[in-house]
Each structure stands twice: as C-alpha cells, then as structure tokens.
C-alpha cells in the first residue's frame, strides 16, 4: 500500500480516475461504501460509480431516496459507528438541503465528544457552471465550507489530483469534502494505476515562475496555465500554484512564491465577492505585505446567479482571457 505520490504511467479521464479510486478503495477496505442518489443501477448522473454495483453489491453501493438530509444523516451515523462512508451529493447546490448535518453535526461531533468520536466521512460532490444546468445546478460554494472548523475541503484540478486527493480523503479519519468541477470530467491526464495519496494541506507549484504568482483552484488551474503562456509573450514569467486543499490552506508555499515574484492574483470560478480568493489574498498581505509591489488581484464570477443561456453562461464564467486582462491591469497600475 503506497501512501505517497507514485510515478505516472498512463492516461485516464477525470471520470475514470474517480471511478477507479472508488473501486480500489472499496477493495482495500471492506468498511468503505458509497451512498447517494442514482449511484447504484445508474452509476451516478456523471458516471463515476458505473460498474461498482456488479462488483460490490447493493449493500456497499447504496441507492438512496431523494433526500439529501437523510443521505447525509446516513453517512454521519455510519461513520460514527465504525464504517468509512462516501456520501455522494449529486450537485453541490443540493448541499443547502443538508447544511445542518454538515455544519452542526458532522463538523462538530469530534469536538463535542472531546476528541473521542472518529468520523471518517467523505462528502463527494460536483460543482461549477458551463453545462447549461442553470442557477440551481451550477454553483461553486466551496467558500462556505472552508469557513467551518472541523471540515477539510479539497478541489481537484485534473484526473491525477482527483484520484490522489480522493484516496487521501477516504483514508482520513476526519470529514473531508471533495469538490469536483463538472467541466473537467472529460479531461485526460496521466494517472498511476496503483493507489496513491496526494497529501491534504499541501499545494502544488504547477508552473514555476519568477515575476508573478497566480493561485488558482479547480478549473481555473488549467485556465491559468493558458494565461501564463499568453503572458509569456509579454515577457512575464508566471508561477501557477494549485492549492489542491482549500482547507487547510498551504499558506507557506503561496507566501514563499509571492516573496519571490512580488505580485499575486487569485483565480476561482465562484462568485468573486466573498469567495475563497478573498481569504487567500488576506493571508498573502498579512504574511508578505512588504514583498508586494502591487495589490493582490482576484478573478471570479460576477455577483449573479448562473445563467441558463449558453451565451450568457459563457460570458459569466471566468477564463484565461480574464486572467490575462487582470494581470495586465495590475502591472499597468503598478507601473
């Protein structure tokens, strides 16, 4: 059993990487099971649990009623009594239906029982716009959960991260929320066949650079890499950092980068106002204020529900072009 990142060997889609991790984790530990709406016969609405029912049966791949509150309560009780459940909430928007279980019970139980309660619960969900699923099925609400003590929150940026972070989450003895981005599900990347963990709380420098830092999460990592290539034509050497884990956040890696580059921008798909980027920016200015040559920038979605219209939705979603524009604005203002 490996517990560190392993050499890559082949390509998988994001969906396949998640499904492979589920199967391998269930073979490794008979206490792991999956529950949620349509995870059994249908293989989940996004296909991440296809094939698991045939191998593990209905006792470990459990179709539930349409009741997010009940599903989360099932996961809570199972985790507290010795199992290691993976609760699948089809869309992140539906977290609103089970906020009491997540915020007041799951996140608090270990504390309320003086550390004696062990809650190895993984909450697996899909977030983000870009699929014309409208305002109630397209939100990115990660900032809400990063604000709750007792929860760990991860947001993979690709297939490799999706498998490694999921393995770490399921093996962790604390509640971990794994937030996938729907528009990344078809992305392909090299993914080892063996089980491997990506350590929670450790950021990854995806692209080293010397004179500008971009901290990006989820889909915005690939958009930031595109932006970095465009900005290279301006003579700018951009460093791109993927936090991987939003809570706990790897402040040390980000601050070390900013002390080197002296400029920073945070990019996320969620609404800009009150987004997790504001917290990241605050930590940068607290830890590296004297090293900044310009204010920390932020790129996020406008303060609006996600439109259904594909044309409006495309305009709504942050992308590489907006990152480039904001970087150039920061440099122009600084100059």
Q: What are the catalytic residues?
A: 68, 137
Report the interhelical angle of 251-261 vs 276-288 (nearest 10°).
60
DSSP letter for each residue of 203-253: -EEEE--SSEEEEE-TTHHHHHHHHHHHHHTTT--EEEEE-SEEES--HHH
Q: Considering only CA atoms, which of 331, 334, 150 is closest in space to residue 238?
A: 331
Neighbouring C-alpha atoms within 13 Å toward the C-beta of 277: 25
Which pair of tokens denotes residue 88?
């699948």
H-run or E-run covering 271: strand 264-271
Other beta carbons less than 10 A from residue 165's beta carbon:
25
Strand ranges, E, within 25-141:
32-36, 61-63, 84-89, 122-127
Residue matched to tokens 């529900």 = 305
């Amino acid at each position: 059993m490996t517990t560190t990142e392993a050499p890559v060997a082949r390509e998988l889609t994001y969906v396949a990487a998640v499904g492979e991790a589920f199967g391998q984790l269930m073979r490794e530990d008979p206490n792991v099971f999956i529950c949620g709406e349509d995870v059994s016969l249908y293989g989940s609405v996004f296909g991440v649990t296809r094939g698991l029912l045939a191998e593990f049966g209905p006792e470990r791949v459990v179709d539930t009623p349409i009741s997010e509150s009940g599903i989360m309560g099932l996961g809570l009780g199972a985790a507290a009594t010795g199992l290691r459940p993976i609760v699948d909430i089809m869309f992140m928007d539906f977290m609103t239906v089970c906020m009491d279980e997540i915020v007041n019970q799951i996140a608090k139980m270990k504390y309320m029982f003086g550390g004696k309660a062990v809650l190895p619960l993984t909450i697996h969900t899909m977030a983000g716009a870009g699929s014309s699923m409208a305002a109630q099925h397209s939100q990115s609400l990660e900032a809400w959960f990063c604000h709750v003590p007792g929860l760990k929150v991860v947001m993979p940026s690709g297939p490799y991260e999706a498998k490694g972070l999921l393995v770490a989450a399921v093996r962790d003895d604390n509640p971990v929320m794994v937030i996938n981005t729907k528009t990344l599900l078809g992305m392909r990347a090299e993914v080892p066949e063996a089980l491997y963990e990506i350590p929670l709380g450790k950021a990854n420098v995806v692209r080293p650079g010397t004179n500008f830092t971009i901290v990006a999460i989820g889909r915005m990592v690939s958009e930031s890499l595109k932006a970095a290539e465009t900005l290279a034509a301006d003579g700018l050497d951009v460093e791109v950092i993927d936090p991987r884990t939003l809570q706990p956040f790897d402040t040390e890696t980000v601050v070390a980068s900013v002390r080197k580059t002296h400029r920073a921008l945070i990019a996320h798909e969620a609404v800009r106002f009150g987004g997790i980027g504001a917290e990241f920016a605050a930590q940068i200015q607290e830890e590296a204020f004297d090293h900044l040559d310009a204010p920390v920038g932020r790129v996020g979605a406008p303060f609006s529900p996600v439109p259904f219209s594909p044309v409006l939705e495309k305009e709504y979603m942050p992308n590489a072009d907006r990152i480039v524009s904001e970087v150039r604005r920061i440099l122009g203002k600084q100059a």
